[in-house]
């Protein structure tokens, strides 16, 4: 656990050279950040963290939550005894966005710094990392700005409520894997009749969050008056609803065992879930243990149902991340040469609108993830492709996740890509249908929009094509698509709870 005492890091930003927009680092307008640590706070500083500088003109947002330009650098040898200067023209500093165009605009901008140092969480806006307040300025030759990293991002808080129970335990198997204490977290929303029926075993549903979601997701349910009124009215199904947490050293763990994150699936099924169910008096022999989730959570619950076909009794998956990797978005990781350029010679899309307009390319997405990675690539970004890479891929010779594709050129390493097959859900089902098929009957429900913003519907289509052709047994998985619907558009906690209750045999 990181110390939560105040840590002060003085930051001075100097800007000069308002030239035209250019492409090489040496020609960019100069933007320097001078960072120093106060003597009384040096003991709390963790060496080897990453400095992230955010710039934005978006109103009413902290730059770290809505930025236009982001720059990052890892001062590997900085021990806080001396000042460190971040210079955006230095080859060790990488940026996403057009700095020259941004700085040369006349409007004022806001800026903020985060120091990413939490070893157990791959993201930057998480407990234990350091952050500054927000400053505002106009760019000019004599601009001199100062910031102080004077806050530690605090732990997530779970709403105080009679029917909400946080669960936090130290994981023995994850701690042994990492050589330091690692924790498992969840929050439990109890049904309205829970305290009226002591010892009763209720159906239980584990809700996997979207990418990098945390166990404080229950807070939103309590704050949502419509849902909360319904949940406590006595009209809602009487089930235990559990909010999982996806924290991992490289971002979302996807709740499965992996070479890089450790035995997360084992920790979930052998440590966290037994502890939760002991506390709420759930009886495993009742056969009413379910899963639900959307987006990343959609992949998680489908993956868990497939990897643990007898442990879980049904999964509701909305807009799951790619469930097979011949259609990883529009990329075939096993045969395509590049993650950035399609086989037709065009830029690969990463996201789109519901009318098909491309919003972001894979190349742009990875360029930004590289900024957040401690070694200037997406390996340790803590974001989507950093998480994918750590979960699905092997460990490299340097002890970090081996990159499936080059972070600069996009060239795919097919030796690494082949090892992703262990998490290709369609391939797993194809190879093991004779044994898995009977154990998955009546347990799979999938929805996706046919204009999914992350193009994940393509993989789901091919999964459905396989399941439709199965024999001995013929799959009874329910997979539906809504025309022109976007990512997670039809997700509803209320609807999911109703379906879980129906499956469990009553309200």
| pLDDT score at 20 | 30
Residue 179: exposed, middle, or buried by beta-carbon count in 10 A (0-12, 13-18, 19+)? exposed
CB-side neighbour CA atoms (13 Å) of 236:
23
| pLDDT score at 24 | 40
| pLDDT score at 40 | 65
| pLDDT score at 95 | 93
| pLDDT score at 136 | 86
| CA angle, residues 380, 381, 387, in degrees to nearest 5 | 80
Picking from 246, 234, 269, the residue whose alpha carbon sits closest to that of residue 163 is 234
Q: What is the dihedral of CA 122, 126, 131, 136, to 10 degrees?
A: 100
| pLDDT score at 143 | 59
The string of DSSP codes covering 463-489 is HHHHHHT--SSPP--EEEEETT--TTT
Picking from 128, 144, 169, the residue whose alpha carbon sits closest to that of residue 272 is 169
CA distances to 190, 338, 414, 454, 505 from 346, rounded to whole Å, are 51, 11, 21, 17, 51
Q: Where in the chain do CATH 2.60.40 domains reside?
A: 9-152
Specify the CATH number for 9-152; select among 1.10.3470, 1.10.287, 2.60.120, 2.60.40.
Answer: 2.60.40
* DSSP assigned state of 452: -
Query: How far is Cα 362 from Cα 507, in angstroms, rounded to an integer?
Result: 45
User: Any idea which residue has 């996403």 for tokens?
Assistant: 96
The CATH classification number of 164-324+424-504 equals: 3.40.50.1820
Query: How far is Cα 35 from Cα 146, in angstroms, rounded to an integer?
Result: 10
Q: What is the dihedral of CA 264, 270, 276, 278, to 10 degrees?
A: -170
Q: Where in the chain do CATH 3.40.50.1820 domains reside?
A: 164-324+424-504
| pLDDT score at 507 | 54
Pure H helices in 398-492: 414-419, 425-440, 457-468
pLDDT in tens, the chain (507 residues): 444 444 444 555 554 433 333 334 445 567 777 777 767 667 777 999 999 999 999 988 899 999 999 999 999 888 877 888 888 888 899 999 888 888 877 788 898 889 999 999 999 999 999 988 898 888 765 556 778 888 889 999 999 999 999 999 999 999 999 999 999 999 999 999 999 999 999 999 999 999 999 999 999 999 999 999 999 999 999 999 999 999 999 999 999 999 999 999 999 999 999 999 999 999 999 999 999 999 999 999 999 999 999 999 999 999 999 999 999 999 999 999 999 999 999 999 999 999 999 999 999 999 999 999 999 999 999 999 999 999 999 999 999 999 999 999 999 999 999 999 999 999 999 999 999 999 999 999 999 999 999 999 999 999 999 999 999 999 999 999 999 999 999 999 999 999 999 999 865
């Amino acid at each position: 656990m990181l110390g939560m005492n105040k840590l002060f890091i003085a930051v001075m930003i100097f800007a000069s050279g308002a030239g035209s927009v250019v492409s090489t680092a040496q020609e960019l307008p100069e933007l320097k950040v001078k960072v120093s640590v106060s003597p009384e706070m040096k003991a709390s500083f963790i060496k080897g963290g990453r400095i992230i500088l955010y710039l934005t003109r978006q109103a009413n947002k902290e730059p770290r939550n809505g930025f236009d330009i982001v720059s990052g650098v890892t001062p590997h040898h900085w021990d806080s005894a001396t000042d460190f200067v971040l210079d955006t023209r230095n080859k060790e500093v990488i940026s996403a966005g057009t700095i020259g165009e941004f700085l040369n605009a006349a409007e004022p901008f806001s800026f903020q710094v985060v120091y990413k140092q939490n070893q157990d969480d791959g993201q930057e806006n998480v407990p234990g990392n350091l952050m500054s307040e927000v400053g505002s300025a106009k760019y000019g030759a004599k601009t001199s700005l100062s910031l102080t990293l004077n806050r530690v991002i605090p732990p997530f808080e779970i709403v105080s409520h009679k029917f909400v129970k946080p669960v936090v335990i130290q994981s023995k198997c994850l701690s042994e894997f990492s050589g330091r204490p690692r924790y498992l977290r969840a929050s439990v929303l109890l049904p309205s009749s829970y305290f009226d029926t002591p010892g009763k075993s209720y159906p239980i549903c584990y809700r996997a969050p979207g990418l990098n979601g945390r166990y404080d997701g229950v807070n939103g349910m309590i704050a949502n008056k419509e849902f909360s009124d319904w949940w406590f009215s006595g009209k809602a199904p009487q089930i235990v609803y559990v909010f999982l947490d996806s924290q991992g050293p490289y971002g979302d763990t996807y709740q499965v065992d992996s070479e890089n994150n450790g035995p997360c699936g084992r920790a979930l099924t052998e440590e966290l879930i037994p502890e939760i169910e002991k506390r709420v008096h759930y009886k495993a022999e009742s056969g009413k243990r379910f899963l639900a989730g959307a987006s990343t959570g959609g992949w998680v619950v489908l993956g868990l149902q497939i990897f643990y076909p007898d442990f879980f009794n049904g999964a509701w998956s909305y807009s799951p991340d790619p469930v097979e990797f011949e259609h990883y978005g529009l990329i075939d990781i096993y045969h395509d040469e590049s993650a950035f350029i399609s086989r037709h010679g065009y830029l690969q899309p990463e996201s789109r609108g519901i009318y098909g307009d491309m919003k972001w390319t894979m190349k742009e997405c990875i360029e930004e993830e590289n900024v957040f990675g401690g070694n200037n690539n997406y390996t340790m970004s803590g974001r989507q492709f950093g998480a994918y890479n750590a979960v699905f891929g092997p460990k490299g010779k340097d002890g970090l996740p081996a990159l499936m594709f080059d972070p600069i050129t996009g060239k795919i390493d097919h030796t690494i890509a082949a090892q992703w097959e262990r998490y290709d859900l369609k391939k797993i089902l194809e190879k093991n249908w004779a044994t898995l098929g009977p154990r998955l009957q009546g347990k799979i429900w999938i929805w996706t929009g046919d204009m999914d913003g992350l193009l994940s519907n393509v993989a789901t289509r091919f999964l459905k094509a396989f399941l439709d052709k199965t024999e001995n047994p013929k799959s009874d998985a329910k997979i539906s698509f809504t025309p022109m619907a976007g990512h997670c558009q039809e997700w509803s906690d209320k609807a999911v709870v109703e379906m879980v209750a129906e499956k469990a045999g009553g309200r």
